[in-house]
Amino acid sequence: MKYKLICPICVPDPTKGVAAVTAEGDINNDFIAVCKCSKEHVSICFQEDYRFEFLYYSAIQSMVSGNLSESVLSFSAALERVFELFIKVNLINYKIPYEDIKKYWKELGLSERQYGAFCTLYFMIAKKEWRENGNMKNFRNKIVHKGYIATTKEVEKYASYIVDKINDVTVWLIENLRDSLLIYEQIIKEERLLKVKELCKRHKVDFYCWTHGENTLFFFDQNNKHMRLDFNQIMINWNNLPPLTDKQKLYKVQNIVKFK
């Protein structure tokens, strides 16, 4: 996915009315992008999102642009990464070192193993079984394995279902394991920052930027900043969503941090 921002070298202060100069680059699996503008200025940027948030955002973009089947794949992947979030946050709550958690997770390479681990832990911790809609799973499998071409109405229904399931997990974590969730958030942020700083040295850049989501699509609960997305607001009036303009596609740089 492309990452875009106003070049902070060409336009150090966007509030002064200087014409915007866009820098862009590809976001990699570490949520980091090496962006360049037309003048070859380099900006090292990273997103603070959880992986499920990023995949959900990707699904939204695909849906808005009319790539319906592709959006289903990202919606499905977002839910799977919420399962991962639930497992890891609970293990952190049990005081298991994060390096050990990563080794454990590596052994759960297959999605079936991860889902089984999630269902067991959810039943044990949340005191209720995890239930999924068989029709929704079959719909997703038809697209993945049979090349089924979905309609807008079908994808809207699937997206609403995914939103409900994601909220079931994330709201539970916020209400019950807020401290462990914050610890996990800090861990992944520090891991990304280490890689960002390495890239800064390699490209001889003395600052980096970070963002969280994109203002035009993400809405945050003000009491749980950077943890909870108000997904329901995004789901309102899909058919009335206007096409994204170039301005809306630009990420807003929320922080520029001096790096020594």
- Write a three-state SS string for 134-173: HHHHHHHHHHHHHCCCCCHHHHHHHHHHHHHHHHHHHHHH
Q: What is the pTM of this model?
A: 0.77
Query: What distance in Å separates the CA atoms of residue 148 and residue 60, rounded to the nearest whole number?
Result: 19
Query: What distance in Å separates the CA atoms of residue 36 and residue 214, rounded to the nearest whole number?
Result: 19
pLDDT digits (tens, 9 = 90+) for 13-42: 655 655 668 888 999 999 898 989 999 988
| CA pseudo-torsion sign 162, 137, 153, 145 | positive
pLDDT digits (tens, 9 = 90+) for 204-222: 876 677 665 543 222 222 2
What are the extents of the domains in the chain? 2-49+192-258, 51-188
Show the tokens assigned to 189.
Answer: 């942020």
Per-residue pLDDT, averaged over 157-175, amounts to 91
Contact in structure between 229 and 56 (CB atoms under 8 Å): yes
Query: What distance in Å separates the CA atoms of residue 39 and residue 122, rounded to the nearest whole number?
Result: 51
- Residue 113, pLDDT above cutoff 50: yes
The yes/no answer on whether domain 51-188 falls in CATH 1.20.120 is: yes
Q: What are phi and psi of 162, to 5 degrees?
A: -65, -40
